[in-house]
Structure 1
């Protein structure tokens, strides 16, 4: 399992992903789940993956190869004119990988399923996010649904729903995501540190990759401890039930 979030702000986009993969309770490892491509002055694209590791690695490998070999029959991710077309390519490639992996083809409901968040900006368009499903179809972020989550989403969603504000600064958004991830990590062993973070400022066409956050990171520790204390204090100040 994993946990990834893509968040759209008025200022741009924020991405965060954990790095834990597991094949049982006694077999955990660290694997990158955030991947980026950019052409300065033209585009910046980020993809985060969740699901079967073989499937997601194959997806990224194919996209990487098609971005390098321009003679390939499939369009290159760095050549497509819009983010919508990028999402379509990612969806089609994901479906291709899932259906082509077995003797009789895998199904999207099988153990080989995966989901993807695609975000970024291409010159001439606005920064945006897409959620790509195993079947290859996708949806785009809206004002009513300003963020996407994939993987183990339920534990980290309440704070996002309650505290998100499109006018947030990038620093405030990272704080919000840290709380969301800390809540998830404490509730589910299949999500864990380190965390990868990336910021995209609108019309910059450049990705700002932040240092990887480990368990020893003082800011993460302060968020984790401070949020726990704040929750306990809030509970104490709520009125007790009366019979």
Structure 2
């Protein structure tokens, strides 16, 4: 990854932060993108402590102008863009009959539309230069039918299929598009589960490994997909969920 330039959305915490630090540790300069600039600056300091360049940019993935502006800004300030990691997303729980259209739209706009707009913004740069990597962070819920998560499951399943379509479209341009599908990870998004002993026990009983992942365990998969070691790998989904979706 030495000398490569990567952008990571949702990089202020959790999986996004872990991926950004893993890419930096492997030698990449990193553009950190999210809505909270103050939190991004803390991660930027961690990247710089690894000896790499870090820039931060504000992005609201539900706003196409914000996305295009942030991606172009990172491209300019890093002096290029080789890797785009689309990690921003929200979780929503609620049975289908109780899910309002406003909530459905919020989840789909953030997770699916946001991922598409980010792919499109980065793809213009990557296809023009004839090389690059796009990594979409989906979920094992995109592979499973989970009651109570209709909007979230639909959004993540769609991201997986979008990944495959873009992989075909951009292969001739030297751009590989792959996805990571994590299971339960110890981040802020799983706090409600981890802080409820009864619920946590039920969740862990459904995971063959009987534990959640540490966010740092996702980083090496992103490094693989961002590196030249995966140049003949496109349209693939790397599942890391302790065996839950088998």
TM normalised by structure 2 equals: 0.32
Between Structure 1 and Structure 2, which shows a larger proportion of helix residues?
2
Between Structure 1 and Structure 2, which shows a larger proportion of strand residues?
1
TM normalised by structure 1 equals: 0.33
